[in-house]
Structure 1
């Protein structure tokens, strides 16, 4: 589902691996007796939604681990984890039964769209760009909706286990239902984002969208939006968990995947069309992003 791609201050940063056989959504169930994920402090550069189906009892229920005192954790609490936030596995000590829903945000659109289009065109992902210290936005699912959440997450797990025809579309449909609830519960946060930094993000992404197929640097984007490269890097990383350069690469790789899967263009021509005219360098970037070569991706996609 995820693998470390880099380190930040010694903390591993995990990316959601994208591949022909990789589901766009993953679910991890956890309880106090089993530490989730990687068993150590880590960072996800993709959105994570944690849901407390049953809260733990006793001392551990008064806080969410080292991420800060949040008051008693209760049944139906949901935590929206901002990309780039440092997560400690002991944070689930307050959960008796809970689930983590991990997903690739690009899957909510299509590879014909920019991978950040969910932030710009899909307001359902705006809550994940919150600026709350510690990286956690706490929401509470109303009692009447809690059985729906439990059933929806269970339905995602069933689809992932059975992998029947159309399962990818099914898990995304179930995920969308959860994200609709999150957006409705986070109305104030979304309104604040619309008033504040979303226009800057949209402008950055529009510059990348227009120019990713040509030589494009951080300074080029910063000049286009009227900010210094350092300030722009800080703002974009705080809001998305990634740097401007990461997003340029992500856009290029999204277009490369589309061209590899949907055309018979030579790899060298695809490299040129995504702004990386050196085929060898393009292959190295693609392998770093996907763990395989462009030719192998094309072969696997075509079966």
Structure 2
């Protein structure tokens, strides 16, 4: 779990913006300082902007909502901080033009993160703002890579629950900007990651007694579960995407499906009831409703 000094408000704000890519003033307030007045968060962001660490764009179509992002300088400052040791920027900080072009998807991803963070606070679980890490690079070999929308770290039962296992999840936020079949194809990409064994170049071949290890085992004790968050469509669109995900899951091999829970839920339901509610639908059996923290196979 990522730890940040509670007194380092500027540091936490910059770290969150660099890691999350983009957030509105309200999202930042709820993520980093929900116990104070929002004016304090606003002043903090303005201060960081004056130091050249963050910048903002204004969305006229959304009531002139201000959206904040880390500048290239801001990303360079945070890139070696120990609390971001599991994160490395997939890109340098944005400028205003780049921010406007990708603001839609980025804000929905941030809203999804906020749902998990707030739900953990309500439930007495542990999910700090920096336990949501967007765009973690996972090589697949041959120059290809899998980059989830986010990697989530979550522990049930609060700070004193050291005996409980850490839950990890890959999160894919779908805004209905691609067809259902392309969305379902992501399941096969994750199965590729599950099976990918890197080729050691320039190293001695392992002996016949050494079994090759999959790449993901260098990072995770167990393969993270896979969560699809569906947005940008009504109930019929959600059902169409669940049907496609179900068809995609049937193409996967049994050992992958046995070991990796794959769940989907509408973002509207997450925001209404909280991610811990039994609203997730296992793609192998969409008729069920389960919590994301338990295996859909029970």
TM-score interval, normalised by the smaller of the two chains: under 0.3
- TM-score by length of structure 1 reads 0.27
Q: Which protein has the bigger helix share?
A: 1
- TM-score by length of structure 2 reads 0.27
